[in-house]
Amino acid sequence: METAFTRLVGVRCPIVQTGMGWVAGPRLVSAVANAGALGVLASATMTVDGLREAIREVKSRTDAPFGVNLRADARDAGDRVRVMVDEGVRVASFALAPSRELIAELKESGVVVIPSVGARRHAEKVVAWGADAVLVQGGEGGGHTGEVATTVLLPQVVDAVDVPVVAAGGFFDGRGLVAALAYGAAGVAMGTRFLLTSDSTVPDAVKARYLAATVRDVTVTRAVDGLPHRMLRTELVESLERSGRVRALSRAVRHAARFRRLSGLGWGEMVREGLALRHGKDLSWSQVLLAANTPMLLRSAMVDGRTDLGVMAAGQVAGVIEDLPSCAELVERLLDEARAAVGALPVSGGSGVA
């Protein structure tokens, strides 16, 4: 299924697996790439050396193109870009808008730049700076999210920019792919759907928790880090929402200490990162600490399998997903469903669309 996006990045299918921290590792990314879609490594939870190792592992498993997701505000973003360029990574994606200079550096090295955006004006800005495509996430998407639904946000962005647009937030089957293409997108991106595959390294107990969820079990909360965050409603989330400031601060300090040991960051670095996150936002200090070490909360669930101690980012589609196919099975299923959906459209006659 060829689109402007598949031509841009060199994949067979207009489908992207998003860069989910602790989830989008070499095994999942290579499985997605081998299935013909674009797999994206999540680098924010890796050291620079760990990123290089992960890239090389993906390359040992597949010859297909893949990408790396970067934090544009990371102090070592330049080092990570150099690793990507040295290792021949085809695509760079960003959760936050990269600077004009970072986009230029990547493009000069032949890397395709695809920032994620949550508003029309953000898309216009990064495209003016040279972005090759944009990924548009509506409010249905997991993790940090906005308030505007994909069906409203997507056509705004498609009408505003002249580069391929990838739609994210609320996609899990071939009907959604066709709908996105009808809106003018050149593909779809999915996180939760790829998390819930047999190729995902997420522990079985965590996958079972996702599969048991209904759409009412997926919530948006500010209790974790002060920003709107879509995730499964768990005991931890409910506890954070009930906690007073003293109890929340104590919990945050404990999590911060664990993240410090894991990441190797000094307390000074964590405080500076927390201050940067607090700037311009009405966050309590407990939220600042939690925001600085949210990766630790994700790791507790996604790596350690502790659904009681971790958070589980989830798109609303978690409430309608019921199985764990392989990535190859999932991609082929989506393409078959898309073809069937197109074939079933009433394109002429009767009360159908002419």
Domains located in the chain, CATH noted: 4-203+321-343 (3.20.20.70), 214-302 (no CATH)
- What backbone torsions phi and psi does residue 219 show, to the nearest 5 degrees? -130, 165
State the pLDDT at residue 285: 63
Amino acid at 150: T
Average pLDDT per block of 10 residues along the chain, 354 residues long: 97 98 97 98 94 98 98 89 97 92 95 97 97 98 95 98 98 98 98 98 97 96 85 88 66 64 60 57 63 76 91 97 98 98 77 38
Give the position of tokens 């249905």. Answer: 140
Q: Where are the beta strands (DSSP E) in 18-111?
A: 38-42, 66-70, 91-94
Question: Which residues 6+ apart lie within 8 Å of 211 measured at CB?
Answer: 196, 321, 322, 323, 324
Q: Name the β-bridge partners of 41.
A: 68
State the pLDDT at residue 272: 64
The radius of gyration of the chain from alpha carbons, rounded to an integer in Å, stands at 20
pTM score, two decimals?
Answer: 0.89
Rounded distance between C-alpha atoms, residue 18 and residue 107, angstroms: 21
State the pLDDT at residue 354: 35
State the pLDDT at residue 167: 98
State the pLDDT at residue 349: 46
